[in-house]
Homo-oligomer: A and B are copies of this chain.
Amino acid sequence: MKVRASAPGKAILFGEHAVVYGKPAIAVAINRKAIITIREGTDDAINVQIPDLDVYGQIDIDNQEICLINNEETSKTPSASSDTSSTSNDLSYDAGILKYIQTALFSDEFKPDHGLDIQVDLEIPIGAGLGSSAAITVATLAAAARYHRQELTLEKLAHMAHQVELEVQGAASPLDTTLSTYGGFIYFTHKEGALKIKPALEMPLVVGYTAEPGNTGMLIERVRKLRQNHPNLIGPLLDTMEKLTNEARDAITSGEEKRVAELMNINQGLLDALGVNTLELSDLIYEARNAGAIGSKITGAGGGGSIIAYCPGKTREVLEKLESVENAFQVSISQKGVTW
């Protein structure tokens, strides 16, 4: 038996960091997915392959322990050498994904009672602020539900995925798992949750991402401290970000391309003022603008990770430029969420 499910990643267009302080954010699902394939196992363990990251792991059915398998030894027996195998407590960044898969697979409803072979195909770079962990979690839960022939509403799926993220990360916004589940374009507030918005414009985006991922927790803490040290400056900046995100929603729904771009650029300056910009991100942002992007900004927590460039009629030029600087790919908005 073989089942497959996929779920898209996301990009925040407006309001990152401000959202931590109760301000709204605007985010989209992107047409880059995590694809999970589950087959009946060839042995008693749960074997997980993530070929895109060269990560191969095994999850013990009984004690749920994750064992990372050295890439060179593809015999799928745990390596004895301590620097090539590890338990879930000291997984590398890449292998950390196994923790989401383990937690999703062993949620109450889907506990496996026999071996499984799981393949994870990733169209989203991980650690780049593009919602890879939410996409993997949603797709894993969806594939597991299909494997166990269980019905699952989208609402239930989104809820379960958020619970998995909470369990693995300690804290998590429901934004990512909502977008991976439902797709589309959302305006998010803590009070009202995710509201779908209907864009009246195409949004051809190019994502550029740096080799080093940003550490979201550390960056949120940095902004918190800055706000504490400069309440009379950072408070008003966060208020301005709120106004900006609300203006952006209007501009998106009324199809004002230039206005959306200008708001992205102002938002970028405010993120820079919050101290989450870096040399590499700033390079990508200005190279994109020089190559024809009308708007460009950090997407996500910053400090590394990704930028988005809004470049109607210039995606090829911007893509080529950013690829020459770091890594880049083109994305469009995915109205589709999870597919199973």
Contacts and interface: CB of A to CB of B under 8 A. Distances in A.
A230 B229 CA distance: 28
A234 B269 CA distance: 12
A277 interface: yes
B240 A233 contact: yes
Interface string A196-224: 00000000000000000000000000000
Contacts of A274: 269
A302 B61 CA distance: 61
Interface string A220-249: 000000100110111011011001100100
A233 B290 contact: no
A286 B277 contact: yes
Interface stretch (A100-108, A162-170, A187-195, A260-268): A260-268
Number of copies: 2
Contact of A283 (B240, B262, B282): B282
B233 A247 contact: yes
A272 interface: yes
B273 A268 contact: yes
A290 B279 contact: yes
Interface in A263-319: 263, 265-275, 277-279, 282-283, 285-287, 289-290
A230 B262 contact: yes
A237 B233 CA distance: 9
A290 B282 CA distance: 13
A226 B283 contact: no
B239 A233 contact: no
Contact of A282 (B244, B271, B273, B286): B286
Given A269-B273, A272-B268, A229 B282 contact: no
A269 B266 contact: no
29 contacts: A226-B266, A229-B262, A230-B263, A232-B243, A233-B263, A233-B266, A234-B266, A236-B240, A236-B243, A237-B240, A240-B240, A265-B273, A266-B273, A266-B275, A269-B274, A269-B277, A270-B273, A272-B273, A273-B273, A277-B286, A278-B286, A279-B283, A279-B286, A279-B287, A279-B289, A282-B282, A282-B283, A282-B286, A283-B283
Given A236-B243, A266-B275, A269-B273, 18 more contacts: A229-B262, A230-B247, A230-B262, A233-B266, A236-B236, A236-B239, A237-B240, A265-B275, A268-B273, A269-B270, A269-B272, A269-B277, A270-B270, A272-B273, A278-B286, A282-B283, A282-B285, A283-B283
